[in-house]
Amino acid sequence: MTQNEKKQLQTSINRTWNVQSMDLEKLEKVKNETECININILGISKLKWTGIGHFESDNHMAHNAGNDNLKRNGVAFIIKRNISISILKYNPVSDRIISIHQVRPVNTTIIQIYTPTTRAKDEEIEDFYQLLQSEIDQTCNQDALIITSDWNAQVGNKEEESVIGKYGLGDRNNATDQMIEFCKTNDFFIANTFFNQHKRQLCTWTLPDGTHRNQIDYIYGKRRWKSSISSVRTRPGADCGTDHQLLICKFKLKLKKIRASLQEPKYELEYIPPEFRDRLKNRCDTLNTSDRRPDELWNDIKDIIHEESKRSLKRQERKKRPRWMSEKTLKLALELGAAKAKGRIDEVKELNRRFQRASQEDKVKYYNDMCKELEMENQKGRTRLAFLKLKELKEKFKP
Protein backbone atom coordinates (compact mmCIF):
# COMPACT_ATOMS: atom_id res chain seq x y z
CA MET A 1 0.00 0.00 0.00
CA THR A 2 1.33 3.43 -0.92
CA GLN A 3 1.66 6.31 1.55
CA ASN A 4 -1.16 8.15 -0.28
CA GLU A 5 -3.51 5.17 0.15
CA LYS A 6 -2.61 4.91 3.86
CA LYS A 7 -3.39 8.60 4.29
CA GLN A 8 -6.75 8.18 2.55
CA LEU A 9 -7.63 5.29 4.84
CA GLN A 10 -6.67 7.29 7.93
CA THR A 11 -8.72 10.31 6.78
CA SER A 12 -11.91 8.82 5.36
CA ILE A 13 -14.25 11.34 3.66
CA ASN A 14 -17.78 9.92 3.62
CA ARG A 15 -20.93 11.45 2.12
CA THR A 16 -24.64 10.81 1.95
CA TRP A 17 -26.94 11.99 -0.84
CA ASN A 18 -30.63 11.57 -1.58
CA VAL A 19 -30.55 11.46 -5.40
CA GLN A 20 -34.34 10.94 -5.98
CA SER A 21 -33.95 8.15 -8.56
CA MET A 22 -30.88 7.34 -10.60
CA ASP A 23 -30.28 6.39 -14.23
CA LEU A 24 -27.01 5.90 -16.12
CA GLU A 25 -26.69 9.62 -16.89
CA LYS A 26 -27.14 10.58 -13.26
CA LEU A 27 -24.73 7.81 -12.17
CA GLU A 28 -22.04 9.43 -14.34
CA LYS A 29 -22.74 12.82 -12.74
CA VAL A 30 -22.45 11.31 -9.26
CA LYS A 31 -19.17 9.60 -10.13
CA ASN A 32 -17.78 12.86 -11.51
CA GLU A 33 -18.71 14.61 -8.25
CA THR A 34 -16.94 11.90 -6.24
CA GLU A 35 -13.79 12.45 -8.29
CA CYS A 36 -13.93 16.27 -8.11
CA ILE A 37 -14.52 16.39 -4.35
CA ASN A 38 -12.34 13.35 -3.56
CA ILE A 39 -15.11 11.25 -2.00
CA ASN A 40 -13.98 7.90 -0.61
CA ILE A 41 -17.37 6.41 0.30
CA LEU A 42 -20.69 7.83 -0.89
CA GLY A 43 -23.98 6.62 0.62
CA ILE A 44 -27.00 7.07 -1.66
CA SER A 45 -30.70 6.91 -0.81
CA LYS A 46 -33.87 6.80 -2.91
CA LEU A 47 -32.13 5.64 -6.08
CA LYS A 48 -35.18 3.48 -7.03
CA TRP A 49 -33.30 0.44 -8.34
CA THR A 50 -34.80 -3.03 -8.08
CA GLY A 51 -33.03 -6.05 -6.62
CA ILE A 52 -29.72 -6.52 -4.81
CA GLY A 53 -26.27 -6.45 -6.41
CA HIS A 54 -22.84 -4.98 -6.82
CA PHE A 55 -20.79 -3.98 -9.87
CA GLU A 56 -17.71 -2.08 -11.03
CA SER A 57 -17.97 1.20 -12.90
CA ASP A 58 -14.70 2.82 -14.00
CA ASN A 59 -12.72 3.51 -10.80
CA HIS A 60 -15.62 2.79 -8.47
CA MET A 61 -17.44 -0.14 -6.84
CA ALA A 62 -21.19 0.07 -6.28
CA HIS A 63 -23.26 -1.99 -3.80
CA ASN A 64 -27.03 -1.55 -3.89
CA ALA A 65 -30.17 -2.85 -2.18
CA GLY A 66 -33.63 -2.26 -3.64
CA ASN A 67 -37.16 -3.60 -3.67
CA ASP A 68 -37.58 -6.94 -5.44
CA ASN A 69 -40.37 -5.75 -7.74
CA LEU A 70 -41.14 -2.05 -7.33
CA LYS A 71 -38.94 0.91 -8.27
CA ARG A 72 -39.14 2.68 -4.92
CA ASN A 73 -36.83 3.57 -2.06
CA GLY A 74 -33.44 1.91 -2.61
CA VAL A 75 -30.06 2.52 -0.95
CA ALA A 76 -26.48 2.06 -2.15
CA PHE A 77 -22.80 2.75 -1.61
CA ILE A 78 -20.39 4.00 -4.27
CA ILE A 79 -16.79 3.39 -3.18
CA LYS A 80 -13.46 4.31 -4.74
CA ARG A 81 -11.69 1.23 -6.05
CA ASN A 82 -8.50 1.83 -4.03
CA ILE A 83 -10.66 2.11 -0.87
CA SER A 84 -12.74 -0.95 -1.74
CA ILE A 85 -9.81 -3.24 -0.91
CA SER A 86 -10.48 -2.45 2.75
CA ILE A 87 -14.18 -3.44 2.52
CA LEU A 88 -14.64 -6.87 4.07
CA LYS A 89 -18.36 -7.31 3.33
CA TYR A 90 -21.61 -5.53 2.60
CA ASN A 91 -25.05 -6.42 3.91
CA PRO A 92 -28.20 -5.43 1.95
CA VAL A 93 -30.76 -5.54 4.80
CA SER A 94 -33.76 -4.10 2.95
CA ASP A 95 -34.64 -1.49 0.34
CA ARG A 96 -34.12 1.12 3.10
CA ILE A 97 -30.99 -0.20 4.87
CA ILE A 98 -27.57 -1.32 3.61
CA SER A 99 -24.27 -1.59 5.51
CA ILE A 100 -20.60 -2.10 4.71
CA HIS A 101 -17.81 -3.29 7.00
CA GLN A 102 -14.39 -1.68 6.55
CA VAL A 103 -11.39 -3.39 8.19
CA ARG A 104 -8.58 -0.87 7.69
CA PRO A 105 -7.12 1.00 9.44
CA VAL A 106 -9.64 0.09 12.18
CA ASN A 107 -12.86 -1.89 11.97
CA THR A 108 -15.58 0.52 10.82
CA THR A 109 -19.23 -0.17 10.01
CA ILE A 110 -21.15 2.36 7.89
CA ILE A 111 -24.92 2.04 7.55
CA GLN A 112 -26.80 3.94 4.84
CA ILE A 113 -30.54 4.29 5.47
CA TYR A 114 -33.64 5.92 3.96
CA THR A 115 -36.24 6.49 6.70
CA PRO A 116 -40.00 6.41 6.00
CA THR A 117 -41.60 9.84 5.91
CA THR A 118 -44.00 11.11 8.58
CA ARG A 119 -46.88 10.18 6.26
CA ALA A 120 -45.96 6.48 6.31
CA LYS A 121 -47.98 3.95 8.34
CA ASP A 122 -46.92 3.33 11.93
CA GLU A 123 -46.30 -0.37 11.14
CA GLU A 124 -43.87 0.55 8.35
CA ILE A 125 -41.95 2.93 10.65
CA GLU A 126 -41.79 0.33 13.45
CA ASP A 127 -40.57 -2.37 11.05
CA PHE A 128 -37.86 -0.01 9.79
CA TYR A 129 -36.58 0.80 13.29
CA GLN A 130 -36.60 -2.89 14.26
CA LEU A 131 -34.49 -3.82 11.22
CA LEU A 132 -32.09 -0.96 11.89
CA GLN A 133 -31.76 -1.90 15.57
CA SER A 134 -31.09 -5.52 14.61
CA GLU A 135 -28.30 -4.44 12.25
CA ILE A 136 -26.74 -2.25 14.97
CA ASP A 137 -26.93 -5.09 17.52
CA GLN A 138 -25.01 -7.36 15.15
CA THR A 139 -22.17 -4.82 14.91
CA CYS A 140 -19.16 -5.40 17.14
CA ASN A 141 -19.04 -2.96 20.09
CA GLN A 142 -15.40 -2.14 19.29
CA ASP A 143 -16.20 -1.01 15.73
CA ALA A 144 -16.44 2.64 14.76
CA LEU A 145 -20.10 2.92 13.75
CA ILE A 146 -21.47 5.66 11.45
CA ILE A 147 -25.00 6.01 10.08
CA THR A 148 -25.46 8.19 6.99
CA SER A 149 -29.05 8.91 6.24
CA ASP A 150 -32.11 10.74 5.00
CA TRP A 151 -34.09 10.64 8.27
CA ASN A 152 -37.03 12.79 7.10
CA ALA A 153 -36.97 14.36 10.59
CA GLN A 154 -36.13 17.86 11.82
CA VAL A 155 -34.15 18.14 15.08
CA GLY A 156 -34.02 21.93 15.31
CA ASN A 157 -31.41 23.95 17.17
CA LYS A 158 -32.37 22.99 20.73
CA GLU A 159 -29.63 21.04 22.54
CA GLU A 160 -30.53 17.59 23.84
CA GLU A 161 -28.27 15.79 26.37
CA SER A 162 -25.16 15.33 24.19
CA VAL A 163 -27.30 13.89 21.36
CA ILE A 164 -28.12 17.17 19.57
CA GLY A 165 -25.77 20.14 19.46
CA LYS A 166 -26.73 23.80 19.29
CA TYR A 167 -26.10 24.22 15.56
CA GLY A 168 -29.19 22.49 14.17
CA LEU A 169 -31.64 24.12 11.79
CA GLY A 170 -35.39 24.61 11.66
CA ASP A 171 -38.15 23.40 14.00
CA ARG A 172 -38.81 19.88 15.23
CA ASN A 173 -41.50 17.72 13.63
CA ASN A 174 -43.42 14.55 14.61
CA ALA A 175 -40.56 12.19 13.74
CA THR A 176 -38.03 13.91 16.00
CA ASP A 177 -38.93 12.31 19.36
CA GLN A 178 -38.59 8.76 18.09
CA MET A 179 -35.27 9.59 16.44
CA ILE A 180 -33.88 11.17 19.65
CA GLU A 181 -34.96 8.16 21.70
CA PHE A 182 -33.24 5.89 19.19
CA CYS A 183 -30.01 7.92 19.55
CA LYS A 184 -30.09 7.78 23.36
CA THR A 185 -30.69 4.04 23.35
CA ASN A 186 -27.69 3.38 21.10
CA ASP A 187 -25.36 6.11 22.45
CA PHE A 188 -25.35 8.08 19.17
CA PHE A 189 -24.84 11.78 18.56
CA ILE A 190 -26.06 13.76 15.54
CA ALA A 191 -22.82 15.06 14.06
CA ASN A 192 -24.35 17.81 11.85
CA THR A 193 -25.54 19.74 14.88
CA PHE A 194 -22.12 19.99 16.61
CA PHE A 195 -20.33 22.09 13.97
CA ASN A 196 -20.83 25.81 13.60
CA GLN A 197 -21.39 26.37 9.86
CA HIS A 198 -23.09 28.96 7.69
CA LYS A 199 -26.81 28.22 7.28
CA ARG A 200 -26.40 27.28 3.63
CA GLN A 201 -24.00 24.50 4.78
CA LEU A 202 -26.45 23.28 7.44
CA CYS A 203 -29.46 23.04 5.13
CA THR A 204 -29.76 19.63 3.40
CA TRP A 205 -33.04 20.01 1.52
CA THR A 206 -34.55 22.91 -0.48
CA LEU A 207 -37.93 23.25 -2.15
CA PRO A 208 -37.62 23.44 -5.98
CA ASP A 209 -38.73 27.11 -5.94
CA GLY A 210 -36.11 27.90 -3.27
CA THR A 211 -38.66 29.37 -0.82
CA HIS A 212 -38.09 26.88 1.98
CA ARG A 213 -34.97 25.18 3.32
CA ASN A 214 -34.57 22.55 6.00
CA GLN A 215 -32.26 20.01 7.60
CA ILE A 216 -33.51 16.41 7.26
CA ASP A 217 -30.35 14.50 6.27
CA TYR A 218 -27.99 13.55 9.10
CA ILE A 219 -24.83 11.69 9.93
CA TYR A 220 -24.81 9.81 13.23
CA GLY A 221 -21.81 8.47 15.09
CA LYS A 222 -21.07 6.58 18.28
CA ARG A 223 -20.12 9.02 21.04
CA ARG A 224 -16.98 6.97 21.69
CA TRP A 225 -15.68 8.09 18.25
CA LYS A 226 -16.88 11.70 18.48
CA SER A 227 -13.36 13.15 18.42
CA SER A 228 -12.65 11.32 15.12
CA ILE A 229 -15.33 13.25 13.19
CA SER A 230 -13.56 16.49 12.33
CA SER A 231 -16.30 18.19 10.25
CA VAL A 232 -19.80 17.71 8.82
CA ARG A 233 -21.29 20.14 6.27
CA THR A 234 -23.18 20.26 3.01
CA ARG A 235 -21.70 21.03 -0.41
CA PRO A 236 -24.23 23.34 -2.14
CA GLY A 237 -22.26 23.40 -5.41
CA ALA A 238 -22.56 19.63 -6.02
CA ASP A 239 -25.41 18.82 -8.40
CA CYS A 240 -27.02 15.71 -9.85
CA GLY A 241 -30.58 16.96 -10.41
CA THR A 242 -31.95 16.55 -6.87
CA ASP A 243 -33.34 19.00 -4.29
CA HIS A 244 -31.17 17.43 -1.56
CA GLN A 245 -27.67 18.71 -0.84
CA LEU A 246 -24.60 16.51 -0.69
CA LEU A 247 -23.72 16.01 3.01
CA ILE A 248 -20.00 15.60 3.78
CA CYS A 249 -18.43 13.94 6.83
CA LYS A 250 -14.69 13.90 7.40
CA PHE A 251 -13.74 10.98 9.64
CA LYS A 252 -10.11 11.21 10.76
CA LEU A 253 -8.48 8.44 12.78
CA LYS A 254 -5.49 9.00 15.03
CA LEU A 255 -3.68 5.70 14.81
CA LYS A 256 -1.64 4.56 17.76
CA LYS A 257 1.79 3.19 16.93
CA ILE A 258 2.28 -0.24 18.46
CA ARG A 259 5.87 -0.75 19.47
CA ALA A 260 7.42 -4.18 19.47
CA SER A 261 8.35 -5.52 22.89
CA LEU A 262 12.06 -5.13 23.61
CA GLN A 263 12.05 -7.53 26.55
CA GLU A 264 14.37 -10.49 26.05
CA PRO A 265 13.09 -13.99 26.88
CA LYS A 266 14.03 -15.40 30.27
CA TYR A 267 15.55 -18.89 30.59
CA GLU A 268 15.76 -21.50 33.32
CA LEU A 269 19.34 -21.20 34.67
CA GLU A 270 19.20 -23.75 37.49
CA TYR A 271 20.41 -26.41 35.06
CA ILE A 272 22.61 -25.47 32.09
CA PRO A 273 23.24 -28.44 29.77
CA PRO A 274 26.92 -29.25 28.95
CA GLU A 275 26.27 -29.05 25.19
CA PHE A 276 25.31 -25.36 25.61
CA ARG A 277 28.72 -24.59 27.13
CA ASP A 278 30.51 -26.63 24.44
CA ARG A 279 28.73 -24.93 21.53
CA LEU A 280 29.22 -21.50 23.07
CA LYS A 281 32.95 -22.13 23.58
CA ASN A 282 33.45 -23.50 20.07
CA ARG A 283 31.70 -20.57 18.38
CA CYS A 284 33.53 -17.98 20.47
CA ASP A 285 36.88 -19.66 19.71
CA THR A 286 36.24 -19.30 15.98
CA LEU A 287 35.52 -15.57 16.19
CA ASN A 288 37.91 -13.32 14.35
CA THR A 289 39.05 -10.80 17.02
CA SER A 290 41.86 -9.11 15.10
CA ASP A 291 41.27 -5.51 13.99
CA ARG A 292 37.76 -5.55 15.43
CA ARG A 293 36.14 -2.72 17.34
CA PRO A 294 34.92 -3.66 20.84
CA ASP A 295 31.28 -2.82 20.07
CA GLU A 296 31.30 -4.98 16.90
CA LEU A 297 32.87 -7.87 18.78
CA TRP A 298 30.37 -7.56 21.61
CA ASN A 299 27.42 -7.59 19.15
CA ASP A 300 28.73 -10.82 17.59
CA ILE A 301 29.18 -12.45 21.00
CA LYS A 302 25.71 -11.32 22.09
CA ASP A 303 24.14 -12.81 18.94
CA ILE A 304 25.93 -16.12 19.58
CA ILE A 305 24.64 -16.23 23.17
CA HIS A 306 21.06 -15.48 22.07
CA GLU A 307 21.09 -18.10 19.31
CA GLU A 308 22.55 -20.85 21.52
CA SER A 309 20.19 -19.94 24.38
CA LYS A 310 17.16 -20.34 22.11
CA ARG A 311 18.57 -23.64 20.88
CA SER A 312 19.57 -25.29 24.17
CA LEU A 313 18.02 -23.57 27.20
CA LYS A 314 14.49 -23.94 28.49
CA ARG A 315 12.40 -20.78 28.69
CA GLN A 316 10.78 -19.78 31.96
CA GLU A 317 7.07 -20.46 31.91
CA ARG A 318 4.72 -17.66 32.85
CA LYS A 319 2.51 -18.80 35.69
CA LYS A 320 -0.94 -17.36 36.03
CA ARG A 321 -1.22 -17.92 39.78
CA PRO A 322 1.18 -16.81 42.54
CA ARG A 323 4.12 -19.18 42.97
CA TRP A 324 3.46 -19.49 46.68
CA MET A 325 -0.17 -20.66 46.37
CA SER A 326 -0.65 -24.39 46.94
CA GLU A 327 -3.12 -26.63 45.13
CA LYS A 328 -5.18 -26.91 48.33
CA THR A 329 -5.53 -23.11 48.56
CA LEU A 330 -6.36 -22.87 44.85
CA LYS A 331 -9.15 -25.40 45.35
CA LEU A 332 -10.52 -23.26 48.21
CA ALA A 333 -10.53 -20.23 45.86
CA LEU A 334 -12.58 -22.17 43.29
CA GLU A 335 -15.07 -23.26 45.96
CA LEU A 336 -15.34 -19.64 47.15
CA GLY A 337 -16.13 -18.47 43.60
CA ALA A 338 -18.80 -21.15 43.17
CA ALA A 339 -20.43 -20.20 46.50
CA LYS A 340 -20.50 -16.51 45.50
CA ALA A 341 -22.16 -17.39 42.19
CA LYS A 342 -24.92 -19.30 44.01
CA GLY A 343 -25.46 -16.55 46.60
CA ARG A 344 -24.66 -18.66 49.70
CA ILE A 345 -23.70 -15.85 52.06
CA ASP A 346 -22.83 -17.91 55.16
CA GLU A 347 -20.76 -20.37 53.13
CA VAL A 348 -18.96 -17.48 51.39
CA LYS A 349 -17.95 -15.98 54.75
CA GLU A 350 -16.56 -19.30 56.02
CA LEU A 351 -14.71 -20.13 52.79
CA ASN A 352 -13.28 -16.62 52.57
CA ARG A 353 -11.93 -16.90 56.15
CA ARG A 354 -10.31 -20.28 55.36
CA PHE A 355 -8.90 -19.01 52.05
CA GLN A 356 -7.30 -15.91 53.63
CA ARG A 357 -5.71 -17.99 56.38
CA ALA A 358 -4.46 -20.71 53.98
CA SER A 359 -3.03 -18.19 51.48
CA GLN A 360 -1.18 -16.35 54.26
CA GLU A 361 0.30 -19.63 55.52
CA ASP A 362 1.34 -20.59 51.99
CA LYS A 363 3.05 -17.23 51.46
CA VAL A 364 5.00 -17.46 54.73
CA LYS A 365 6.05 -21.04 53.96
CA TYR A 366 7.12 -20.11 50.41
CA TYR A 367 9.37 -17.24 51.49
CA ASN A 368 10.84 -19.25 54.37
CA ASP A 369 11.74 -22.05 51.94
CA MET A 370 13.25 -19.55 49.51
CA CYS A 371 15.41 -18.07 52.28
CA LYS A 372 16.61 -21.54 53.28
CA GLU A 373 17.53 -22.34 49.65
CA LEU A 374 19.34 -19.00 49.32
CA GLU A 375 21.36 -19.71 52.48
CA MET A 376 22.20 -23.21 51.25
CA GLU A 377 23.40 -21.96 47.86
CA ASN A 378 25.56 -19.36 49.59
CA GLN A 379 27.12 -21.98 51.88
CA LYS A 380 27.98 -24.17 48.87
CA GLY A 381 29.70 -21.23 47.16
CA ARG A 382 27.18 -20.95 44.33
CA THR A 383 26.86 -17.22 44.67
CA ARG A 384 25.39 -16.68 41.19
CA LEU A 385 22.34 -18.83 41.99
CA ALA A 386 22.12 -17.23 45.44
CA PHE A 387 21.95 -13.74 43.94
CA LEU A 388 19.35 -14.88 41.38
CA LYS A 389 17.12 -16.15 44.17
CA LEU A 390 17.71 -12.96 46.16
CA LYS A 391 16.70 -10.89 43.12
CA GLU A 392 13.55 -12.97 42.70
CA LEU A 393 12.67 -12.45 46.37
CA LYS A 394 13.09 -8.68 46.06
CA GLU A 395 10.93 -8.49 42.91
CA LYS A 396 8.13 -10.77 44.06
CA PHE A 397 7.81 -9.86 47.72
CA LYS A 398 4.74 -7.87 48.72
CA PRO A 399 3.94 -7.57 52.42
Three-state DSSP class for 248?
A: strand
User: Are 239 and 331 contained in the same domain?
Assistant: no
User: Are 79 and 186 contained in the same domain?
Assistant: yes
Predicted local confidence at residue 23, as pLDDT: 78
**Mean pLDDT for the stretch of residues 86-113:** 87
User: For residue 132, what pLDDT band results from cuts at 50, 70 and 90?
Assistant: very high
Task: Note whether residue 215 is domain-resident.
Answer: yes
- Is residue 294 over pLDDT 70? yes
**Mean pLDDT for the stretch of residues 47-69:** 88
User: Are 361 and 278 contained in the same domain?
Assistant: no
Nearest alpha carbon to residue 113 among 24, 213, 49, 45: 45
pLDDT digits (tens, 9 = 90+) for 154-202: 888 888 878 898 888 878 888 888 888 899 999 999 998 898 888 888 8
User: Are 73 and 205 contained in the same domain?
Assistant: yes
User: Are 232 and 273 contained in the same domain?
Assistant: no
Domain that holds residue 308: 264-286+299-318
Peptide bond into 236 cis (omega under 30): no
User: Are 213 and 351 contained in the same domain?
Assistant: no
User: Are 211 and 349 contained in the same domain?
Assistant: no
Q: Each residue of 382-399: b (16+ CB within 10 Å) or e?
A: eeebbeebbeeeeeeeee
> In this structure, what DSSP letter does residue 56 have?
E
User: For residue 102, what pLDDT band results from cuts at 50, 70 and 90?
Assistant: confident
Q: What angle do CA 10, 17, 170 make, to 5 degrees?
A: 105
Predicted local confidence at residue 4, as pLDDT: 47
Lowest pLDDT segment from 112-116, 351-355, 382-386: 382-386
Predicted local confidence at residue 262, as pLDDT: 54
Task: Note whether residue 291 is domain-resident.
Answer: no
Task: Note whether residue 292 is domain-resident.
Answer: no
Task: Note whether residue 257 is domain-resident.
Answer: no
Say which residues have a Cβ less than 8 Å from residue 189's Cβ, sequence separation at least 6: 162, 163, 164, 165, 183, 220, 221, 223, 226
Q: Which H or E run contains 247?
A: strand 246-252
User: Are 126 and 62 contained in the same domain?
Assistant: yes
User: Are 309 and 334 contained in the same domain?
Assistant: no
Most confident segment among 24-28, 77-81, 169-173, 269-273: 77-81
Task: Note whether residue 104 is domain-resident.
Answer: yes
User: For residue 276, what pLDDT band results from cuts at 50, 70 and 90?
Assistant: confident
Q: How many domains does the chain have?
A: 3
User: Are 178 and 84 contained in the same domain?
Assistant: yes
- Is residue 111 over pLDDT 90? yes
- Is residue 246 over pLDDT 70? yes
Most confident segment among 23-27, 82-86, 110-114: 110-114
User: Are 126 and 157 contained in the same domain?
Assistant: yes
- Domain CATH number, residue 144: 3.60.10.10
Task: Note whether residue 38 is domain-resident.
Answer: yes
User: Are 341 and 356 contained in the same domain?
Assistant: yes
Three-state DSSP class for 148?
A: strand
User: For residue 98, what pLDDT band results from cuts at 50, 70 and 90?
Assistant: very high
**Mean pLDDT for the stretch of residues 46-60:** 87
**Mean pLDDT for the stretch of residues 281-293:** 81
Task: Note whether residue 375 is domain-resident.
Answer: yes
Task: Note whether residue 382 is domain-resident.
Answer: yes
